[in-house]
Amino acid sequence: MSKFKKKKDGGLAPINTASLPDIVFMLLFFFMVATEMRLDTLMIKNTLPNADQIEKLEKKNPVSFIFIGKPSSGYEKYGTEARIQLNDKFAEVKDIASFINEERALLREELIPFLTVALKVDKEANMGIVGDVKQELRKVNALKINYMVAPGDVSNNLK
Q: How far apart are CA 135 and CA 159, in angstroms?
A: 28
Smallest gap from Cβ 117 to other proteins, in A, equals: 9
Smallest gap from Cβ 114 to other proteins, in A, equals: 12
Report if residue 72 touches other proteins, rule: CB under 8 A: no
All residues at 6 or more sequence positions from 112 whose CB lies less than 8 Å from its CB, including other chains: 104
Report if residue 16 touches other proteins, rule: CB under 8 A: no
Q: How far apart are CA 1 and CA 15, in angstroms?
A: 28
User: Among 27, 77, 105, 110, which residue interacts with other proteins (rule: CB under 8 A)?
Assistant: 27
CB neighbours of residue 81 within 10 Å = 11
Report if residue 80 touches other proteins, rule: CB under 8 A: no
Q: What are phi and psi of 35, to 5 degrees?
A: -115, 170
Region of residue 152 (left: phi > 0; alpha: psi -120 to 50; beta: else): left
> Torsion angle, CA of 103/107/109/114, rounded to 10 degrees?
-70
Closest CB to other proteins among residues 8, 94: 94
Smallest gap from Cβ 63 to other proteins, in A, equals: 7
Closest CB to other proteins among residues 9, 104: 104
Of 106-135, which residues contact other proteins (CB under 8 A)? 116, 118, 121-128, 130-131, 134-135
Q: What are phi and psi of 142, to 5 degrees?
A: -100, 90
Site for other proteins, rule CB under 8 A: 17-18, 20-21, 24-25, 27-28, 31-32, 34-38, 49-57, 59, 63, 68, 116, 118, 121-128, 130-131, 134-135, 137-139, 141-151, 154-155, 157-158
